[in-house]
Chain A
Amino acid sequence: MGRSTLKYIGNRGFSADIFKWIFGLVAGAIILMFLVRFALQHVDISSKLTDLEYGEYIDDQLEAFRISGSGSKNLELAEGYTLNLDCDGFGINRNLKKSNKIIFGPRSLQRSLGIWTDSWNFPFKITNVYYIGDENLRILIIYDDNFGGYAKSLQMPAIFNVQKMHIRDFSVDRLRRESGSERVNLIFFTAVTPAKDIISKLGNAHVLQVKPGTYSVVYQNNGKETKYLGDEMLIGAMFAPENFDCLHAKAIERMRYVTDVYVRRADMLRLKTLEPACVQGLSDGKKALESLVDTDNAAAMFSLRDQLEEQNRHLRRLDCAQIF
């Protein structure tokens, strides 16, 4: 033991100086740990708060956008922020907010977003649906001679990277060379042959087959077939094929609630009507609305929609209060 060390040790053990040093070190380490923990927690809470604020901002933007009824616009997301979409809601980074909004889009989006909203009517307005894409999303619609007219009639705003082509011009190898890291949603208005080959060649591809005759779409990545109600829903499937099943169910749920309002409304309006023809028309309408609430069959839903439109026209001709 050196002299300097011995200086601090008397016959009673450690001196006050050395104890002070040890005590200072331990206390300093504890204070430092506390400050570091405080700083980390603060950073975590701050970033969560910013994410939530940003999420609210996007929610307000979508809500305000709904007022216009239909339209499209661009929205820039700041660097480092990711908009995550889920069937149950959406949010920035890891902070998802539960929402009943029906938003079709890839699960995660960054930077420059294209947002489009349109009213979904069946036959009356149910709600506004949203379509969101970013620079990384490419939608390729491939059709044959049978469904070329229908595929071309589906219009989407120019802010999205959507291309339409005939099946004879489609080449998987060329697409693989062109697409790079892009996410590609391939929408076939024709038979997909062979789907597995396309999916394996294009790593980031979602393949959807549309069967307009049966109002159904088949997500070839997992083979799931889902019925769709109207073009708004079909376009939704093009934006979010992997989530379509769930989002469509969510849209149907909303449709049932809105239809339920019309059922009760028709019942109430009957009370205020004296004209027998109007009472009969409203009763028929109520029955059709009740069937629409109860059915799960897509073909029956389309038939009821047409029936309701006709019944409404009939009531208008009679100058009665209408079903919707």
Chain B
Amino acid sequence: MRRSSKGQIEMNETLLVMFFIVLIIVIGSLLYYRYFMETAKTEVEELSEQEMSVLLASITEMGEIRCGQGDCIDTSKIIPFSNVIKAHSAYYNTDLGYKKITLEIVYPASDHSRIPCDLRAYQQSTYPNNCGFYVLYENEPKQVKKAITVGSPVSIYYPETDEYRIGRLKIESYA
């Protein structure tokens, strides 16, 4: 009887030791996994920021929106381009992903900075003074956790009046 209870105590001890070892390993693994995922997430965010900076600089070189003379954005291509994107969203989403790309008219400042420069605004005789920004591309995920924004000044060209203005190209990347 005494021998049996000693064996049982030893068994319990063994099980307890094993339990704690397993617990330590599981907790250690979970902590390490969490740390690893956090590091990976930070790296992905850094890469995303880097990608956006590069995109910001290279987007003006896209044949779809660049000026014939280069180094500027042709505003008369923006509305057609956004329509082409809608028609071929899968194609453009591959390269641009979950982002919103807008072009704000900065100088001369517009009195209608909140009005989008869409086809309706374009058809009015007061264009381009009747609107304040263009939406080039918009692909928002269903759930937005975080958005990073970068922007850069660009030269914008109006072929209708053969004049240049200054704009701000803004890219919002959704995570």
Which residue numbers of A lie inside 8 Å of B, CB to CB? 10, 12, 15-17, 19-20, 23-24, 27, 31, 34-35, 38, 42, 45, 49, 53, 56, 59-60, 63-64, 66-67, 69, 98-101, 124-128, 253, 257-258, 260-265, 268-269, 271-272, 321-322, 324
Q: Are B25 and A31 in contact, with the CB atoms below 8 A?
A: yes
For the complex, give the distance between the alpha carbons of A22 and B28 in Å.
Answer: 26
Cβ of A277 to closest chain B Cβ, rounded Å: 16
Chain B residues with CB below 8 A from A27, complex form: 18, 22
Quick one: which of B22, B47, B68, B80 contacts A268, CB cutoff 8 A?
Answer: B80
Kindly state the separation between the CA atoms of A258 and B64 in the bound complex, as whole angstroms.
5
Are A257 and B77 also in contact (CB < 8 A) when A16-B7, A63-B54, A269-B159 are?
A: no
**List of A residues within 8 angstroms of B99 by Cβ:** none
Determine which residue in B64, B87, B94, B160 has the highest number of CB atoms from chain A within 10 A of its CB, and name it.
B64
A-B contact pairs, 5 of them (CB 8 A): A31-B22, A125-B63, A128-B61, A261-B65, A261-B80
Which residues of B are in contact with A by a Cβ distance under 8 Å?
A: 3-4, 6-8, 10-11, 14, 18, 21-22, 25, 29, 36, 40, 43, 47, 50-51, 54-55, 57-58, 61-66, 68, 70, 74, 76-77, 79-81, 83-84, 87-88, 91, 94-95, 119, 122-123, 127, 159-160, 162
CB distance from A72 to the nearest CB of B (A): 17
Q: Inside 8 A of B29's CB, which chain A residues have their CB? A: 38
Contacts of A53 in B (CB 8 A): 43, 47
- Nearest Cβ distance between residue A36 and chain B, in whole angstroms? 12
Which residue in A17, A66, A100 is a CB contact (below 8 Å) of B61? Answer: A66
Chain B contacts for A38, CB-based, 8 A = 29
- For B62, the chain A residues whose CB sits under 8 A away are 127
Q: Which residues of A contact B81 (CB under 8 A)?
A: 261
Could you tell me if A15 and B7 are in contact, using CB atoms closer than 8 angstroms? yes
Which residues on A sit within 8 Å (CB–CB) of B87?
260
Closest approach, in angstroms, between the C-beta of A192 and any C-beta of chain B?
35
- Chain A interface, DSSP helix/strand/loop, else mixed: helix
Query: Contacts A38-B29, A49-B40; is A60 near B80 (CB within 8 Å)?
Result: no
For A16, the chain B residues whose CB sits under 8 A away are: 6-8, 10-11
Select one of B11, B47, B54, B91 contacting A100, CB under 8 A: B91
B151 CB → nearest A CB, Å: 17
Choose from B3, B14, B58, B66 the contact partner of A23 (Cβ within 8 Å). B14
Q: Are B68 and A324 in contact (CB under 8 A)?
A: yes
Instruction: Assess the B47–A56 pair: CB atoms within 8 A.
Output: yes
Residues of B within 8 A of A60 (CB): 50-51, 54
Q: Which of A24, A261, A268 contacts B64 (CB 8 A)?
A: A261
Please report the C-alpha to C-alpha distance between residue A322 and residue B36 in the assembled complex, in whole angstroms: 55
Residues A272 and B91 in contact in the complex (CB < 8 Å), given A20-B14, A257-B64: no
- B61 contacts A67, C-beta separation under 8 Å: yes
Query: A64, B54: Cβ atoms under 8 Å?
Result: yes
CB–CB A67/B25 < 8 A: no
User: Contact between A125 and B160 (Cβ–Cβ < 8 Å)?
Assistant: no
Identify the 4 closest CB pairs spanning chains A and B, nearest first. Answer: A264-B80, A16-B7, A125-B63, A272-B160
Please name all residues of chain B whose beta carbon is closer than 8 Å to the beta carbon of A63 when the two chains form the complex. Answer: 51, 54-55, 58
Measured CA separation A205–B119 after assembly (Å):
54
Instruction: With both chains docked as a complex, state the minimum distance between the C-beta of B9 and any C-beta of chain A, in angstroms.
Output: 9
Q: Which residues of A contact B36 (CB under 8 A)?
A: 42, 45
